[in-house]
Structure 1
């Protein structure tokens, strides 16, 4: 079997939208399949390695992928993608032969909670809930003092938590999170913290001494600016789930995730 993204599409189509699994030909390279899926869904989480299951694996971390194989899984890598878990690795078949496998399972995604007008919201926790994020912090040791010294300004605390938590990647594989704000629009009083494939730039208007009070400004590809009086994490939450937001992503995706571009355990 020659592995390509087209082959992967066909295999996933055979499994269907619900729970499904299959053993693959023994000559297939499991790492090649992992790499192809990683190119599509981002960095995976390791559920099983050398026959040992990560003790933290539960329903929120892809445990459903292991059910068909009972205790026969040898390796398993998993991705959270929308309302589905996708996994691949190797497992022993009925004859005890280790073979590559591909498995999908339904993923329960928590509904985002409504926000009362006077509610004090931790938007980063809300963002973790909306995306179903289960990985450990990706960049917990960022030297923000050095970065802020280089930029000549302090940075919003929720943005720093986003980078520390999610690391390098994109929300819904579309909204790319900058690991350090760009200063290309500094003459306009803007620092760029994210961007999209459509060339929209998500910025702060760096007014005042308190970065946590900086508003978000979206500069579109045609140079128009639109201001939102909220923090970056709140802005991301709203565009993910509010279908009426001018920059909504809710019309394209029913559930949301963060595509991590770096390998993690």
Structure 2
């Protein structure tokens, strides 16, 4: 069976929007399917390996994908995508033979925070970002040596940015906004440090003025070289572009729910 992203679309469409699973044709290459899902959703979480289920698996980590197989799952990997879990791997069929499977399940995400709070509200923007993305995984990079990074860069860095990197790790919001694991210095001559970017070649930076990084404004260097300033922190900026349809760089029109695509396997 030849596998393309179109084939994957057809297989998922057969399962429908709710919970479902299917045993795959014997001539389908499971490794190729996994690679296609990787390219679409990012690195998966391993739920079951060689018949042993990760003891941390629960509803927030894709546990619903295992329900159809009871104790018959052999190897299952899972991807979070908006309000859906997608999984593939192998499981023993009722007759006892091991078969490749594709499975989907509903993913509970927090109620979308439709309106960003007013500027004068006291908001923990990182906690808000967790809620918007439905992030329930443990911190991905809790041991970053920020002292070394800041020494090498010659400057302290905003605390909310450091929390973002520690919490989410390497990946992209909505599979679109890539979070740099340390700031890029490509625009340093312009007084800018780049903390994120998009496939449309927009660069999200700070105007690194003064010795109070938590007060640095965000500056978007657009693909045409224009600089657009925003009086907010990096975490607030991400929250607002995810949920505010009026924001000039909004992503709210593209997705009904929001998530963080992690590029590293965490299971």
TM-score relative to the length of structure 1: 0.93
What SS does the aligned partner of 1:86 have? strand
Distance 1:50 1:120 in 2: 48
User: For residue 250 of structure 1, what is the aligned residue in structure 2?
Assistant: 252
User: For residue 156 of structure 1, what is the aligned residue in structure 2?
Assistant: 158
For the pair 1:229 / 2:231, whether they are aligned, the reply is yes
User: For residue 193 of structure 1, what is the aligned residue in structure 2?
Assistant: 195
Distance 1:196 1:202 in 2: 8
Q: Could you tell me whether the CA contact under 8 Å between 1:112 and 1:126 is conserved in 2?
A: no
Q: Could you tell me whether the CA contact under 8 Å between 2:84 and 2:107 is conserved in 1?
A: yes
Q: Could you tell me whether the CA contact under 8 Å between 2:112 and 2:257 is conserved in 1?
A: no
| Shift of residue 244, structure 1, vs aligned partner | 1.0
| Shift of residue 118, structure 1, vs aligned partner | 4.5
Q: Could you tell me whether the CA contact under 8 Å between 1:45 and 1:135 is conserved in 2?
A: no
Distance 1:129 1:98 in 2: 38
Distance 1:22 1:229 in 2: 50
TM-score relative to the length of structure 2: 0.93
Change (3 A) 1:234 1:117: closer
User: For residue 242 of structure 2, what is the aligned residue in structure 1?
Assistant: 240
What SS does the aligned partner of 1:60 have? helix
User: For residue 108 of structure 1, what is the aligned residue in structure 2?
Assistant: 108
| Shift of residue 133, structure 1, vs aligned partner | 2.1
Distance 1:238 1:128 in 2: 13
Q: Which moved more, 1:250-259 or 1:32-41?
A: 32-41
Distance 1:227 1:217 in 2: 4
| Shift of residue 250, structure 1, vs aligned partner | 0.5
| Shift of residue 56, structure 1, vs aligned partner | 2.2
What SS does the aligned partner of 1:177 have? strand
| Shift of residue 116, structure 1, vs aligned partner | 5.7
Tell me the C-alpha RMSD between the 2 structures. 1.7
Distance 1:70 1:37 in 2: 24
For the pair 1:86 / 2:79, whether they are aligned, the reply is no
CA deviation map 1:50-76 (0-9, x unaligned): 222222222222121112112211111
Distance 2:171 2:79 in 1: 14
Distance 1:12 1:32 in 2: 16
User: Counterparts of 1:142-221 in structure 2 under 5 Å?
Assistant: 142-221=144-223
Q: Could you tell me whether the CA contact under 8 Å between 2:176 and 2:198 is conserved in 1?
A: yes
User: For residue 20 of structure 1, what is the aligned residue in structure 2?
Assistant: 20
